[in-house]
């Protein structure tokens, strides 16, 4: 096992500078500088310099080292981008990969509540601490990452939120033999701009988690929503989490923490849908309303469960659209009123829309050969009195267009 460098938030031990060949300017030396009084003043000036142009940026370099200025401008730009992900982004520290890979605040808060019965959690691959702070609300947390720089970022970010009782370790998750009640792993899923979908390409790979579960009561692994279905284990709970109609992540739960086979969770809420093992829902013709399930529901393969939940049926066995005759409000799908159903033929559809005074405010599709922009260009209908949603799909192998009204639910 690798020897670990240990430093906790309570001791504040110093750190060494990371590899100077790293193109990321935000190394350990830069972090220490930016946390000083001079560094905080530089960050304030850098925020203004981003908007004021090159001359102001040149002026910064007269008062601070060039590499530190680069790091400050780099961080300020990332903080601006991260506002929609972290409420306190303007004070946080991260590099580009650390920011992009970090769990969104609302997702991390939800997961921490799911793990609230775990008194101690070992967090492997903690990154910049996106999960660490929330996990520490209810548990003793030991946070581990291979990167000294990321560990320092995580420590600083948790300090911002007054969480000083987290123990941070620099170590390799591939060579870790812990004894703890629960392990949470957020493996690296990219390298040099390349994203990895397959679990064995992660660092650490899924096989490491499968080994850890043999000696640990609860193992939780964050995975890409695009992970191939055949790589998902059959002896675990698989959850897909969506926020603002985007499936943000998949999560594998092994052990006592697992309470279902499949789960779709919608945030904010949370709203949760689980498998009921009751088989497939019926198939039928379009009713009065159309339901477009949330991406987490689709990815979790819970279309049939949702259909039973809202007393609906599928349009086709292979397509994730549902329909019924009595509108049911649900957090698990967007709802539309079906105005008409038309066979797909561009010329006839164009004429129909113009006659009705409809214009396509939105174009959606599932299992349809044309992209929405291609359809829009072909229709050449950009004006009209009534906005409609055009839904292109297949029913029993035939291409159709559902003309719908967005009812805002």
In the prediction, which pLDDT does 9 show? Answer: 38
pTM above 0.85, yes or no: yes
Neighbouring C-alpha atoms within 13 Å toward the C-beta of 214? 5
Check residue 14 and give its pLDDT.
29
Can you tell me the mean pLDDT for 169-177? 83
Helix (H) or strand (E) holding 398: strand 398-406
| Residues with Cβ within 8 Å of residue 169, at least 6 apart in sequence | 4, 5, 6, 142, 143, 144, 151
CA distances from 51 to 54, 61, 86, 390 (A): 9, 16, 22, 41
343 pairs with which residues across the strands? 400
Cα–Cα distance list, 46 to 33, 70, 73, 314, 381 (Å): 14, 10, 6, 54, 46
pLDDT tens-digit series, residues 48-71: 876 666 666 677 888 888 899 999
Max Cα distance, the chain (Å): 75
CB 205 within 8 A of CB 125: no
Q: Does residue 40 have a cis bond before it (omega within 30 degrees)?
A: no
Looking up tokens 């549902």 gives 322
User: What is the Cα–Cα distance from 252 to 218, expressed in whole angstroms?
Assistant: 10
Residue 336 three-state SS: strand
Helix (H) or strand (E) holding 149, with range, is: helix 148-160
**Neighbouring C-beta atoms of residue 160, cutoff 10 Å:** 13
pLDDT band at 3 (very low <50, low <70, confident <90, very high): very low
304 pLDDT above the threshold of 60: yes
State residue 7's pLDDT score: 33
pLDDT of 189 above 90: no
Distance CA(27)–CA(32), nearest Å, equals 9
Residue-wise pLDDT for 248-286, tens only, equals 999 999 999 999 999 999 999 999 999 998 999 999 999
Q: Which of 6-20, 214-228, 376-390 has the lowest mean pLDDT?
A: 6-20
């Amino acid at each position: 096992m690798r020897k670990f460098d240990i430093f906790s938030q309570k001791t504040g031990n110093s750190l060494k500078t990371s590899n100077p060949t790293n193109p990321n300017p935000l190394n350990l030396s830069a972090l220490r500088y930016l946390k000083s009084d001079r560094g905080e003043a530089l960050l304030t000036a850098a925020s203004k310099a981003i908007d004021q142009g090159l001359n102001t940026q040149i002026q910064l370099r007269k008062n601070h080292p060039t590499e530190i200025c680069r790091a400050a401008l780099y961080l300020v730009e990332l903080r601006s981008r991260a506002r929609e992900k972290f409420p306190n982004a303007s004070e946080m520290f991260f590099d580009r990969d650390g920011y992009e890979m970090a769990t969104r605040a609302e997702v991390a808060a939800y997961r921490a509540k799911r793990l609230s019965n775990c008194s101690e959690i070992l967090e492997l691959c903690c990154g910049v601490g996106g999960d660490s702070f929330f996990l520490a609300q209810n548990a003793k947390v030991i946070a581990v990452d291979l990167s000294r720089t990321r560990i320092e970022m995580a420590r600083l970010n948790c300090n911002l939120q007054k969480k000083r009782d987290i123990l941070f370790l620099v170590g390799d998750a591939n060579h870790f033999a812990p004894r703890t009640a629960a392990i949470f792993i957020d493996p690296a899923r990219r390298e040099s701009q390349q994203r990895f979908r397959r679990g064995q390409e992660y660092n650490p790979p899924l096989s490491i988690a499968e080994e850890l579960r043999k000696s640990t009561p609860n193992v939780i692994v964050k995975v890409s929503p695009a992970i191939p279905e055949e790589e998902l284990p059959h002896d675990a709970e698989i959850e897909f989490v969506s926020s603002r109609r985007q499936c943000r992540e998949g999560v594998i739960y092994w052990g006592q923490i697992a309470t279902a086979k499949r789960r779709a969770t919608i945030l904010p809420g949370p709203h949760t849908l689980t498998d009921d093992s009751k088989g497939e829902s019926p198939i039928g013709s379009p009713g009065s309303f159309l339901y477009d399930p949330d991406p987490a529901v689709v990815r979790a393969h819970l279309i049939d469960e949702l259909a039973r939940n809202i007393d609906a049926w599928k349009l086709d066995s292979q397509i994730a659209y549902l329909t019924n005759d009595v509108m049911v409000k649900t957090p698990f799908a967007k709802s539309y009123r079906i105005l008409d159903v038309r066979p797909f033929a561009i010329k006839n559809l164009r004429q129909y829309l113009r006659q009705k005074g409809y214009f396509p405010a939105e174009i959606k599709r599932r299992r349809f050969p044309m992209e929405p922009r291609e359809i829009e260009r072909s229709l050449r209908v950009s004006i009209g009195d009534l906005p409609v949603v055009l839904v292109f799909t297949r029913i029993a192998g035939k291409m159709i267009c559902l003309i719908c009204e967005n009812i805002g639910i």
